Structure 1
């Protein structure tokens, strides 16, 4: 089973003067909510995780949902032999998460040293889509509890309506 999680960084806090109600998409995706993220296979007890402290976690969740959709563009769906590729690049770094879909399965690999040692994680595309959207909704719920005004941000409304829970 796929588990996606995060931890916000204490070393890179959001600027105290931030008005979350009016923060633009660039700020939401690249400047705020820094921390670390992980993707874990709970059955094999393996994970791909960052330990940098500066990954914009909302951007990660947003990009993960985009990738799940991009990997599903072939009208044949799970019958498509692929391979279909997508990458998630981390801001301020050359490190990548690579996604390869073949039929209904997605293989996820990281190219930084600790991730290469771990090897690829494999999940069904359906599970990746569901868990990515659940992660996004859970993350936004956590962030709106912590940051006054974020729930009133139109960019957040648009994001949440674009990727409803499945």
Structure 2
């Protein structure tokens, strides 16, 4: 079972003068909503998580949705034996979260994981569903905190691009 979550940082708050309704893509992806993120395999009780406090959480959710789609470009889909690779590059460091899809399964690991630790493995369909639902839940949480964010057209487009999955 896959769980994707986040926590916002108190050390890196958003600038108080932020106009969330008109924040552009760069601000939404790089300057706002800093904290930490995790992907957890609840059945195995293991996770890949950050502990830096400065990860742009909305950018992570957005990038994760992009990556899941990128891993599905092979026309053979879950029958493709050729591995497909993608990564999330954390811009403030050299650390990366790495994704490898073979058949219908995605291995997730990170540069900061111990070398002898096995990657987390998730079904690609489950990863797609959970990534999209995480994005929508995160936007709902952020909109609860900053009501004017709900009027931002960038987020409308983002939610339309990655609709919630049942």
Which interval holds the TM-score relative to the shorter structure?
over 0.9
Give the CA deviation at 1:115: 5.6
* Structure 1 unaligned blocks of 5 or more: none
Query: What is the match of residue 21 of structure 1?
Result: 21
The equivalences for 1:15-94 within 5 A come to: 15-94=15-94
Cα shift readout 1:107-153 (whole Å, capped 9, x = no counterpart):
001001x4646431000100110000010000000000001310000
Query: What is the match of residue 130 of structure 2?
Result: 131
Closer, same or farther: CA 136–6 of 1 in aligned 2, 3 Å: same
Moved over 6 A (4+): none
Give the CA deviation at 1:82: 1.8
The equivalences for 1:145-164 within 5 A come to: 145-164=144-163
Closer, same or farther: CA 144–121 of 1 in aligned 2, 3 Å: same
C-alpha RMSD over aligned residues: 1.0
Count how many residue pairs are aligned between Structure 1 and Structure 2: 165
* Structure 2 unaligned blocks of 5 or more: none
